[in-house]
Structure 1
């Protein structure tokens, strides 16, 4: 039995309340025993390690609800020339960058298999705890069918990553079962085309309402959630009507789809950073973004920004997610600044990346806030995020990261 006391900081506990100065967090092994004013905490006399926060800001470990930890860039030539094993070795660095950015939990929206999750859980590699979907579901010719008009199918395939292509209700049912058999903890489905798709447009709906209802039904048999990649409004409406738990991107939503999301308590994960970086790459003629994607990337970013503000003002529950992997890893918390640009105040943005994100992943009994009984996931920020929210997007300002009671990043003195 051992105790750790983080003291001499300002506590922002993730619940959205007023920050607590002269605060402390008491940890026993990997569980938070108390968090609040240091004066109110009964501090053990023995077996105690003290971390002096040196007036830093003490926050919960952040949660990124949309990453692709196995990839970076989704360049078509990578899938042609890269040996499968190299994806795993590259992911070691991607996961390290992610947790060093302050992300202690992440929802992988496709490509990470159960072995990657096991390697983290066993402590073989350093990274955020993962909730995995393994293989996204797509229709033939949809946004994760890698078949090209040249006749080549360039999707990376191996036994732990089943093919996610499904057509028709019964085939969809079988495919959901195959993905769950492979270790999926939630189901990811592409209900529209994508910005960087070779075979479709972002607005194109994919899967019928009947197919989506089968998918949700099958997932519920194992109490799993379904999350939907969705840009076009028709796809969003179908997905929410079918009962998905969250809409990822949500670019073209309108009053009807917003109303449905409110009625069904559906979460929205905007992924601002991916939309903005894709636009910047599209405007740069020397970038590697495919030519067929440039116009879509520029056009959809402007629509996206307007509609995210619209959804937020209507009261849709918004969760932080970045689509890191489509864009470079390690800058995840820049998303908080974009949420504030949309209209959130800094505390709202922090809650979107902590408490609300935990709720959306059904992990709120374990993580998301600094409270007694939760896992000890703690981040120390050198700057005040309530005054300078965008400083969290610079990993150099994240001076310490503790995951499950273990210090995994420390560029901060410990007394």
Structure 2
């Protein structure tokens, strides 16, 4: 079957302005782009804009804005996987067709999507985040027990607490054995973790060097939760591919990222999600609320300066901190930090696909690429309303969400 998205405009993901064109799909691929194209099935896209499927570089499907530790404590372990399946479908319906799962999802969840058991974005998984003792992934409390979180260890998800180069080498190999596509490490403290400070760098250079060496040997990239200035610089020096959050960027860190081509994944809506959860009555721990207020101004200032300096920025939301399905809010927040709408859309498609090393397969609208596409019913440069514009979502050429009717 040859399907044609007809009569609309095309934003190809490169950052160029939209242009009138039809897009023909066959066998899950884009086979032709032009005018007056014919097909066995036709989608009337008059007045709409066709964009590449969005790529979210940072999500957590095992959480959903439920930031009260008591929620995790009261949730049966296996129920989390059923809840995650619904969140995956919600994310796909929002127009996100590919994600990098930044901690929580295991190989079984990825396989469920790949085999078509559940609907959701295609996933690159990190399984769990690597943290030093007392770091962002360590939920130990003063009572002597750990607060339950979305990453409880099980046979497919090893514990992520690691100290020293030798332990790091073993842990990276464990994660690769478990099916990790990418390795995630925390080179600083964070906001939602109880016993650390987002201004403090974590792990030493020898530990990070071993991490990157082992990941590279297995053909894997590394992503770093890095909020502290020192933690950001340590990650960049070690050759880590992307900085997640980047809250306390100084001029030297920005220059290092530009020089080395390190990507920045801002996750601007994540701190917003913490305060929004508290506003809607979620029992968010006070330490998380306090640290969110501490970082928000610095976060936006850092991202704005990085954008202005030319750091490569890829969209990532940290969804899970904020409820899933609101992913496209991040596009508007990048615009508020200084990107043009075209740049923010490119960051959410082609640049994010480049970060995930899948740009040869998706992320732009080109002949031969996978037909992951979104039909937007409004102006794509009106980023404040982007989430409300999703009329249809296509994944590998199949309509998987949306109300647009296919007619002969």
The TM-score, its normalising length taken from structure 1, stands at 0.94
Offset at residue 18 of structure 1 (A): 2.6
Counterpart contact for 1:355–1:368, Cα < 8 Å: yes
CA distance in 1, matches of 2:319, 2:303: 19
Q: CA offsets, 1:270-292, max 9 Å, x none?
A: 0011122224446x494421011
Q: Does 1:389 align with 2:383?
A: yes
Counterpart contact for 1:189–1:229, Cα < 8 Å: yes
Give the 5 Å matches for 1:134-173. 134-153=127-146, 154-155=148-149, 156-173=152-169
Aligned partner of 1:339 in structure 2 is 334
Aligned partner of 2:30 in structure 1 is 32
Aligned partner of 1:215 in structure 2 is 211
Counterpart contact for 2:97–2:122, Cα < 8 Å: yes
Instruction: Identify which range, 167-176 or 152-161, moves more after superposition.
Output: 152-161
**Secondary structure at 2:129's aligned position in 1?**
coil
Aligned partner of 2:124 in structure 1 is 131
Offset at residue 410 of structure 1 (A): 2.6
Offset at residue 16 of structure 1 (A): 1.5
Offset at residue 406 of structure 1 (A): 1.1
CA distance in 2, matches of 1:75, 1:161: 22
Q: Give the counterpart of 2:324 among 329, 333, 354.
A: 329
Aligned partner of 1:119 in structure 2 is 112
Q: Does 1:370 align with 2:369?
A: no
Offset at residue 8 of structure 1 (A): 0.8
CA RMSD in angstroms, aligned pairs only: 1.4
> Where do 4+ consecutive residues of structure 1 move more than 3 Å?
279-282, 284-287
CA distance in 2, matches of 1:75, 1:142: 19
Q: Does 1:60 align with 2:52?
A: yes
**Secondary structure at 1:177's aligned position in 2?**
helix
Q: Does 1:313 align with 2:313?
A: no
Aligned pair count? 403
CA distance in 2, matches of 1:6, 1:205: 49
The TM-score, its normalising length taken from structure 2, stands at 0.96
Instruction: Identify which range, 241-250 or 153-162, moves more after superposition.
Output: 153-162
Offset at residue 38 of structure 1 (A): 1.2
Q: Give the counterpart of 1:298 among 268, 277, 293.
A: 293
Counterpart contact for 1:335–1:393, Cα < 8 Å: no
Counterpart contact for 2:101–2:123, Cα < 8 Å: yes
CA distance in 2, matches of 1:69, 1:293: 20
- Unaligned runs of 5+ residues in structure 1 are none
Offset at residue 115 of structure 1 (A): 0.5
**Secondary structure at 2:170's aligned position in 1?**
helix
